Structure 1
Amino acid sequence: MTRRSLQTVARPGPQTDDAALGPALAAPLLLGALLAAATAPVLAAVAAVTVVLATKAAQLGLGALARRAGDRFGRVELPGVATVSVHISPR
């Protein structure tokens, strides 16, 4: 009995037939957001300020966490496979 090996051919490039799928999906979402902002400008402004403040709070919180961690190492051992070390250092 003979064995045949399976061979696959990898082709570079996008896996879909149309590379413009992302912009095609983003365009209606952007138009919907603009329409919502035009119909409720106060709500849109509140949402934008909330996103900006949440982003800044996350940046400050993660910075404080990194400073508190100091120069400690985190280590995860996968028995028989590898050891992964993570080093966190503040700027």
Structure 2
Amino acid sequence: MRNAVINQFSSLSLRNDVGVLWENLMIAERLKKAEYNQDYYNHYSRQQEIDFIEKGDGNLYAYEFKWNPAKAPPVTFVNIYPKTKFKAITKENFFEFL
């Protein structure tokens, strides 16, 4: 639907919004699992963010969705929540997330 509205039907390799599309797909598919986890989204100042946070089994799990290779978690987040398990979800490992 979005592609029709913005008239954007180019190949993924030519698009400038691949990261946004990837985040949306991963969150939508994860929510379809309908597990009884608490889900959160987190934004920090200085443009640091965590795309998706789940609380389940007494633990916090933080996820970053990256179309391109993975990166380290934001330092601010790690300092505030040192026990949180962080994982970057990429096109190479997304099946284990879903």
| TM class, shorter-length | under 0.3
Q: TM-score, normalised by structure 2?
A: 0.24
Larger Rg: 1
Q: Which has the higher strand share?
A: 2
Q: TM-score, normalised by structure 1?
A: 0.26
> Which protein has greater RCO, CA pairs closer than 8 Å, 6+ apart?
2
Q: Which has the higher helix share?
A: 1
